[in-house]
Amino acid sequence: MYVGAHESASGGPYTAVERALDDECEALQLFTKNNNRWTQRMWTEEEAAQFRQHYAKSGLKGVMSHSAYLINLCSKTAKTVEKSKVALADELTRCAMLGIPYLVLHPGSHTGQGEEAGLRLIAENLERVYETEEDGQWQDVTLLFENTAGQGTCLGWRFEHLADLFERVFDPTRFGVCFDTCHAHAAGYDLTERESYEAVWQEFDAIVGLDHLKAFHLNDSKKPLGSRVDRHELLGEGEVGLDAFRFLVNDDRFADIPAVVETPPLESGEDSFAEMVALLKGLRA
Ligand SMILES: [Zn+2]
Ligand SMILES: [Zn+2]
């Protein structure tokens, strides 16, 4: 497992590579645009090349982008869905320009329409988005569905939701899964002990398929198992606990997979990423 962090790209995408190196990361996640805005000017070819060059020289072993939180392909508000389709296409283009192979997406919130309708709308609207692809421009970018904590009407908290999406999408080879440990815990998947850890992965493999798993978010959880509330905690200081992270970093099935922390700041107010990356490396057998 290649461990790293979600780094700020403030100052341009290439600066996230510099921050990752400062924190001794092996993998990196960044936002390729402001995550709370619908639109932003596209990167110039020069800015994109600057990122690609920094990344190529960095020695980092994996990189992913996280899409904007506003995107919801199964909202009951038509205007939100229309904006989401445009925004997702824009993010795929940014990843392609920057040479980033993975774009993480929260599947969506059905906002009262029901799970079945929500999952169908996500798959349908993904097809609408990919119909706007020009000349295979996104072919080197895999869109990763992130498992969620299941807050409100969020979809993707049950493995069955993820499996359903793979069944419905127009081309499953263009999609994968990013597994968030905090979200899984909040959704009721218990990684805390060896036996339950193995059972979770057996269940994931049987329902979704381990071959779809392309990335991890390694976060501890402030909230208990099955709480369906998404609150990230420093690794080892929450309800997931260090054993789960020890199992993960030493699991041969995940040896070549990028894994990033999205942990809150330290008590001092400083960001926690260097400490968390060092901690994960220290768990290796
Ligand atoms: Zn996450
Ligand atoms: Zn979260």
Pairing outcome for strands 62-66 and 220-221 = unpaired
Judge whether 217 is annotated as a binding position. Answer: yes
State pLDDT tens for residues 42-70.
999 999 999 999 999 999 999 999 999 99
Instruction: Enumerate the β-bridge partners of residue 144.
Output: 104, 176
pLDDT range class, residue 267, cuts 50, 70, 90? very high
pLDDT per position as a tens digit, 132-172: 999 999 999 999 999 999 999 999 999 999 999 999 999 99
For 211-229, what is the mean pLDDT?
98
Q: What's the number of domains the chain is made of?
A: 1
CB neighbours of 197 closer than 8 A, spacing ≥ 6?
Answer: 190, 191, 244, 247
Least distant ligand from the CA of 228: 2
Residue 11: strand, helix, or coil: coil
Q: How far, in Å, are 1, 29, 156, 179, 260 from residue 215 at the CA level?
A: 9, 10, 15, 6, 8
Residues 148/179, Cβ–Cβ less than 8 Å: no
Question: What's 141's domain CATH number?
Answer: 3.20.20.150
Question: In the prediction, which pLDDT does 133 show?
Answer: 98
> Which residues, 6 or more positions from 85, have their beta carbon under 8 angstroms from its beta carbon?
73, 125, 128, 129
Per the annotation, does 183 bind a ligand? yes
What average pLDDT score do residues 69-92 get? 98
Residue 23 assigned to a binding site: no
When pLDDT is averaged across residues 253-268 and rounded to a whole number, the result is: 97
Position 263 scores a pLDDT of: 98
Ligand nearest to the CA of 262: 1
Dist. CA 51–CA 15, nearest whole Å: 8
- Name the band, by pLDDT with cuts 50, 70 and 90, for residue 116: very high
Query: Domain range spanning residue 139?
Result: 2-282
Mean pLDDT for the chain? 98
23-42 pLDDT, tens digit per residue, is 999 999 999 999 999 999 99
Q: Which residues contact 228 (CB under 8 A, 6 or more apart)?
A: 149, 150, 151, 157, 186, 187, 188
How high is the pLDDT of residue 90?
Answer: 98
Distance CA 191, CA 200 (A): 7
Distance 53 CA to ligand 2 centre (A): 30
In angstroms, what is the span from residue 49 Cα to ligand 2's centroid?
A: 31
Collapse the DSSP code of 103 into the 3-class scheme (helix H, G, I; strand E, B; otherwise coil) and give the result.
strand
pLDDT (0 to 100) of residue 248: 98
Report whether 110 belongs to an annotated binding site. Answer: no
Q: Which ligand is nearest to the CA of 180?
A: 1
Please tell me whether 230 is known to bind a ligand.
Answer: yes
Cα–Cα nearest to 179, from 157, 153, 155: 157
| pLDDT for the residue 150 | 97
Structure confidence at residue 259 as a pLDDT band (50, 70, 90): very high
pLDDT over 90 percentage in the chain: 100
